[in-house]
Amino acid sequence: MDIRTMLAASVAVACLCSPTLADTSSKKIALSNNYAGNSWRQAMLTSWDTITKEAVSKGVVAAADPFTTAENQATEQAAQIQNMILQGYDAIVVNAASPTALNGAIKEACDAGITVVSFDGIVTEPCAWRIAVDFKRMGESQLEYLATKLPNGGNLLEIRGLAGVSVDDEIHAGIQAGVEKNPQFKIVGSVNGDWAQDVAQRAVAGILPSLPDIAAVVTQGGDGYGAAQAFAAAKRPTPTIVMGNREDELLWWKEQKDKDGYETMSVSIAPGVSTLAFWVAQQILDGKDVKKDLVVPFLRIDQDNLEENLKNTQKGGVANVEYSLEDAQKVIAAAQ
């Protein structure tokens, strides 16, 4: 079942026929993004550009400008948000470098009457809205899959994301919880791959000589192909590597599947969640009553739908869903 079907099913009885509310055609929305150094973030920005340009051209909002900091530093992003306050934006959509370090700047924005919607890397400031995948559940689902595929267990290598970011902490917590429930698995090594294939490849290559046999690699997205390359270069058997919906990962997986029946699974948040955050911000500006915390499903790919998802994934991109206004209304209604 795809994400849109899941959303529709969850609100099958909800009425979305709300009366016309305030006009947002004069409103300006900004995207504050802390990092663009991997294919997921690039796809996220591309999705934002695709959906928001159309919204601006149709007069839904006056502007939807994206901004990305040069470094993944919370202090730099806080300064960026303060600049957005001065520039008179009506709403700021935030993919945050830290769940807490931006709270001061977020509170300044709220106090200035600005709507703040965080997604992916969410913030804890109570005045902001949060759109999140259950990242902990995403991590735990990897161990559930491995427990079925490898019932005897084995040694695991964990590839984490960007240190200090809430997404990394949540997925890691899910993986840890999964290991506790399935003690036949043991994490024998951990590296940071920064959600980027080249970083992951170097990190795995650096730790492999010190590791025993590895049954599986648990990941966070953007690191599976790099891990596979590192194992191949070290002339070590390829373990079961959980993938993260990137096109190069899916292509490698299909090649191995066609060659010898290689099996795994792939899971990630859809980069198009940025477009959901845009529409949620627009709906708040439009006067809609929106709960502070919204949850969307993660996007999972399995052995039987690999080819279909690969076919629909842009070269160099990430398996994705871009959200419409109607999708956002369904997510909002489901949270009521």
Query: Tens digit of pLDDT for each residue in 66-111?
Result: 999 988 899 999 999 999 999 999 999 999 999 999 999 999 999 9
Pick from 199, 131, 203, 194: which is nearest to 168 by CA? 194
Q: What is the pLDDT of residues 265-274, one digit of tens each?
A: 999 989 999 9
CA-based max dimension of the chain:
63
Residue 38 has pLDDT above 50, yes or no: yes
The span from the CA of 195 to the CA of 193, in Å, is 5
125 and 25 in a single domain? The answer is: yes
Specify the higher pLDDT residue, 162 or 205: 205
54 with 103, same domain: the answer is yes
- At 2 the pLDDT is 54
Residue 147 above 90 pLDDT?
A: yes
Same domain, 15 and 104: yes
pLDDT above 90: residue 166: no
- Is residue 20 scored above 70 in pLDDT? no
Q: How far apart are CA 1 and CA 236, in angstroms?
A: 36
* Per-residue model confidence (pLDDT) at position 9: 47
The last residue of a domain, from among 268, 288, 319: 268
Same domain, 95 and 36: yes
Confidence bin at 60 (pLDDT 50/70/90): very high
The values of phi and psi at residue 41, to 5°, are -65, -35
pLDDT of residue 133: 85
> 273 and 261 in one domain?
no
> Is residue 169 domain-shared with residue 250, that is, in the same domain?
yes
The percentage of the chain sitting over the pLDDT mark of 90, rounded to a whole number, equals 85
pLDDT at res. 3: 53
Please compute the mean of the pLDDT values over residues 118-143 and round it to a whole number: 95
In the predicted model, what is the mean pLDDT of residues 44-51?
Answer: 97
With 80 as the cut, is the pLDDT of residue 239 above it?
yes
Say what the pLDDT of residue 37 is: 87
Average pLDDT over residues 135-158: 97
Which pLDDT score, from 0 to 100, does residue 155 have?
Answer: 98
Domain boundary among 268, 303, 319: 268
* End residue of a domain, out of 251, 268, 285: 268
Of the listed ranges 14-18, 78-82, 184-188, 319-323, the one predicted with least confidence: 14-18
What pLDDT is recorded for position 72? 84
Residues 295, 264, single domain; the answer is: no
pLDDT digits (tens, 9 = 90+) for 172-195: 999 999 999 999 999 999 999 999
Tell me, yes or no, whether 216 and 282 share the same domain: no
* Domain count of the fold of the chain: 2
Residue with tokens 């039987």: 304
Mean pLDDT taken over the chain: 93
Q: Do 8 and 87 reside in the same domain of the chain?
A: yes
Residue 4's pLDDT is 53
Helix (H) or strand (E) holding 263: none
What domain range includes position 141?
Answer: 136-268
Stated pTM of the model: 0.81
Residue 273 and residue 254 share a domain: no
Task: State residue 22's pLDDT score.
Answer: 60
- 165-189 core/surface letters (b: 16 or more CB in 10 A; e: else): bbbbbbbbebbbebbeebeebeebb
Do 330 and 185 share a structural domain?
Answer: no
Q: What share of the chain is helix, strand, coil (3-state, %, to 5)?
A: 45, 15, 40
Residue 153 belongs to domain with CATH number: 3.40.50.2300
